[in-house]
Amino acid sequence: MAGLSSGPVALDTNVLVRCIVADDPRQTPLAAHLLDHPSGAFIARSVLLETEWVLRAAYRLSRAAIHRSLMAVCGLPQVRLEQPEQLAQALGDFAAGMDFADALHLATAEAASAEFHTFDPRCARAAAKRGRRARLIKAPTR
């Protein structure tokens, strides 16, 4: 690939999606080459968050398929992740039924020793099922 960086490369959501769904015969090999970059491939939390959303909303993949795909990508030896401990926690909570975005927000808050507050009762219930604390904010009734 001409012009490939000699240092690690940071990947965008569309690169990960091409690697996972392999739906474009021209882009998929280029994406796979970047993911296998010899100096490493960096994936930001926001890219994983958006990738989960694209796979769910646009490609209609199941939770199990999305989880397997994200785990496979994150587990590659050349991949470097932003905040890997929080991502591991979020992926575990996602596999157990939490919304991935909620799980990632909660893991990040816990890592910062901050109490997570939400108006979303489903998020609070799912967090409680996983032994995590998400404080449900209840608006006063009139």
Domain ranges of the chain: 8-82, 84-137
Cβ within 8 Å of residue 76, ≥6 positions away = 35, 36, 41
d(CA 59, CA 129): 28
d(CA 29, CA 68): 20
Residue written as token pair 């409680």 = 128
Give the residue, 108 or 7, on which the prediction is more confident.
108
Q: What is the pLDDT of residue 3?
A: 58
Q: What is the pLDDT of residue 7?
A: 84
The alpha carbon dihedral of 47, 133, 111, 137 has a sign of: positive
| Res. 8: pLDDT tops 80 | yes
